[in-house]
Chains A and B, each alone.
Chain A
Amino acid sequence: MAEVRLSEVNKVYEGRGQQVHAVRDLDLVVEDGEFVSIVGPSGCGKSTTLRMIVGLEQATSGQILFDGDMVNDLDPQERNVAMAFENYALYPNFSAEENIGFPLEARGIPKQERRRRVHELAELLQIGNILHQHPNTLSGGQKQRVSLARALIREPAAFILDEVLGHVDGHLRFQMLFDLKRLHQSLDSTMIFVTHDQMEAIALSDRIAVLHQGRLVQSGTRDELYDTPATRFVADFIGEPPTNFFDARFVEEGGEETLRADDLALRPTAETAARLRSRDDRRYVVGIRPQNLLCTPRAGTISFDATIDIHEYLGERSILTLRRGGLSFQALASAEGSWAADEPITLHYRPEDIMVFDAESEALIA
């Protein structure tokens, strides 16, 4: 297992007369034994980053280091990383067993030993009964397990998992999330996991790196990303349902400093107000998570009224879509409450939960 370090990595694709800067000045460290997820919307450069780590793509500039050794010029064969692909990429003319044993074959391990290790791993992944089958006879989940087994069979510097849950649905997905987590814990291995689904990233990772338009916007633990998102993009991307955003002005009303968005006046903490006061511009983007809009008052909360538009019942919780004046936003409520459309509701929030972003750069201010 190894530490993987990316240092000022750039990737530029030369298209027909145009350049695409897929990854910009990426700095990222994945510690030995750490599980790091790279998340971001489609086209943010996460897969390109992954392919550069594996060696399927050449970095245009910058350094990729495994345990301090630069691997930029090494072929994938020489880098000793294992990868599981989004579409499984199982060799269709091989049986599951041959598929899993293929990486060992490259290392000249004798057939008997290969067999033994394949069967051992198959037990762990509960695919012992399908080893003789060919990939086209396997179900999606079985294929994914075989593909994981192929990545896990050797002891690589790092495991690279590219959207491995992308084609797995519903129930199986939870099982696979559990399996991955368990594997990481038992193998104590460096794992880099790429996904566009922040749920998967949050469930699995020690640390999450958020990519947006080829740049690393923020990397940190789940709590860091959740509580202090570096930009509006991160606040929007991490968390379900997504954060409510309002265009607001910082004004003084009746001796109180407030952030005013249309009809809604949100009260920042004294600390935040002080920070805003020291700035020249008055226009901001205010964000508050639906989880932080409460239906019952608590100590230190401030309240305002709204009207219920839509009530989505999700089992243990409900998502309420609300309106106040021209604003529309969402709140999470317990499912026990009797929520009906067009009824008034009083919401409560804590001033600490208000996130203020710069209107121009969208960076977090407070």
Chain B
Amino acid sequence: MSVKHYKLVRLLLLIFLGVWLVLIMFPFYFQIITSLKDVAEVNRIEPTFWPEVFVLENYSAIWNEPGNFKSLVDSFIIATCNTILSLFFGTLAGYALARFPRQSGGENVAMWILSNRMFPPVAVLLPMFFLFEELFGTTDTHMALIILYLVFNMPLAVWLMMVFFRDVPRELEEAAYVDGHKPFKVFFTITLPLVGPGMVAVAMLCWIFSWNEYLFANMFIGTDVKTFPVVIPSFTSGSQTLWNLVMAFSLVAMIPPVVLFIILRRYMVRGLSLGVVKG
């Protein structure tokens, strides 16, 4: 390809990326400016693309309701506990399925576990509600959602961890056995570090799912425990929606996952290309 062509292609690419960037960034931009407008401007029929007055007070107004901050804390507790449990079970089950397919049921069981993730959640919403009600007396607890989200997160964790474990050459473990180490020691010192980046990826997926989940949270909790997706609709009153507060609160709720991603990204990229054995 000639230099001229190369430049043309590059130009087209930049134009395409520019357009794409505008398309996906616009909603975000609109969210930010909306969170800074006053109520009157927000509810105007003709939208404004730059706030006429900056109302920074919106960001303090969202905390007026004392439950709002607690909802972020609740969300964090539920998402984190669920992630830890998903990862714990997913790692153990994934290892079993990858290394001992015969004893653990193999491909069929793995497929069945994954299929749990495939049904539409709405289908089991009501049965789940009554089931939890019967079993625990109430659904309005952290534990209810932590357990419930396992239904969605654990299959994903099991399946992905299985794939990651399969990528770890069996010879590494065998070499360690021959070197005289016990299976648990081998698992924790040799195998687990190699799937570490995979675990981080799985943790992120599980955490984000639990953090954002609305359907079950709306049904199960709301009095003693509230997650933030349940709180956001509460900015709608009978006559109007306080979009500015909705946007402000949503923006605040975006901070934890973004921070988490930035922190964990380092661990994800590192070591993904292992170069363990020569094929």
* Stretch of A135-143, A210-218, A266-274 lying at the B interface: A135-143
* Stretch of A88-96, A198-206, A250-258 lying at the B interface: A88-96
Q: What are 8 A-B contacts with C-beta separation under 8 Å?
A: A54-B178, A55-B178, A88-B277, A89-B171, A92-B194, A93-B271, A103-B179, A143-B278
Tell me, yes or no, whether B181 is within 8 Å of chain A by CB.
yes
Chain B residue at smallest Cβ distance from A144 = B278
Tell me, yes or no, whether B258 is within 8 Å of chain A by CB.
no
How far is it, in angstroms, between the C-alpha of A80 and the C-alpha of B177 when the chains are bound?
10
How far is it, in angstroms, between the C-alpha of A91 and the C-alpha of B188 when the chains are bound?
12
Name the distance in Å between B102's Cβ and chain A's nearest Cβ: 9
Question: Is B274 in contact with A89, judged by CB distance below 8 angstroms?
Answer: no
Tell me, yes or no, whether A226 is within 8 Å of chain B by CB.
no
Query: In the complex, what residues of A have CB within 8 A of residue B169's CB?
Result: 87, 89
Q: Could you give, for residues 227-269 of chain B, a 1 whenever the CB lies within 8 Å of some chain A CB and a 0 otherwise? A: 0000000000000000000000000000000000000000000
Question: Is A56 in contact with B174, judged by CB distance below 8 angstroms?
Answer: yes
Chain B residue at smallest Cβ distance from A162 = B171
Chain B residue at smallest Cβ distance from A156 = B178
Question: Is A89 in contact with B277, judged by CB distance below 8 angstroms?
Answer: yes
Tell me, yes or no, whether A107 is within 8 Å of chain B by CB.
yes
Q: Could you give, for residues 39-58 of chain A, a 1 whenever the CB lies within 8 Å of some chain B CB and a 0 otherwise? A: 00000000000000011100
Chain B residue at smallest Cβ distance from A81 = B178
Question: Is B171 in contact with A76, judged by CB distance below 8 angstroms?
Answer: no
Question: Is A106 in contact with B180, judged by CB distance below 8 angstroms?
Answer: yes
How far is it, in angstroms, between the C-alpha of A222 and the C-alpha of B261 when the chains are bound?
63
Tell me, yes or no, whether B143 is within 8 Å of chain A by CB.
no
Question: Is A87 in contact with B279, judged by CB distance below 8 angstroms?
Answer: yes
- Count contacts on B: residues with CB < 8 A to the other chain: 23
Q: Could you give, for residues 240-276 of chain A, a 1 whenever the CB lies within 8 Å of some chain B CB and a 0 otherwise? A: 0000000000000000000000000000000000000
- Pick the 5 closest A-B CB pairs, nearest first: A106-B180, A136-B275, A87-B277, A89-B171, A103-B179
How far is it, in angstroms, between the C-alpha of A83 and the C-alpha of B180 when the chains are bound?
11
Name the distance in Å between A100's Cβ and chain B's nearest Cβ: 10
Question: Is A92 in contact with B274, judged by CB distance below 8 angstroms?
Answer: yes
Query: In the complex, what residues of A have CB within 8 A of residue B193's CB?
Result: 93
Chain A interface residues toward B at CB < 8 A: 54-56, 75-77, 80-83, 85, 87-93, 102-103, 105-107, 135-136, 140, 143, 150, 154, 167
How far is it, in angstroms, between the C-alpha of A88 and the C-alpha of B276 when the chains are bound?
9
Name the distance in Å between B190's Cβ and chain A's nearest Cβ: 6
Query: In the complex, what residues of A have CB within 8 A of residue B181's CB?
Result: 77, 102, 105-106
Tell me, yes or no, whether B111 is within 8 Å of chain A by CB.
no
Chain A residue at smallest Cβ distance from B172 = A89
Chain B residue at smallest Cβ distance from A153 = B179
Question: Is B176 in contact with A102, judged by CB distance below 8 angstroms?
Answer: yes
Query: In the complex, what residues of A have CB within 8 A of residue B271's CB?
Result: 92-93
Question: Is B171 in contact with A92, judged by CB distance below 8 angstroms?
Answer: no
Tell me, yes or no, whether B182 is within 8 Å of chain A by CB.
yes
Residue of A85, A93, A140, A154 near B175 (CB, 8 A) is A85
Which residues of chain B from 146 to 190 have any CB-CB distance to chain A below 8 Å in the complex?
Answer: 169, 171-172, 174-182, 185, 190
Given contacts A82-B178, A83-B175, 16 further A-B contacts (CB under 8 A): A54-B178, A76-B178, A77-B178, A80-B180, A83-B174, A87-B169, A88-B277, A92-B276, A102-B179, A106-B179, A106-B180, A107-B180, A135-B276, A136-B274, A154-B180, A167-B278
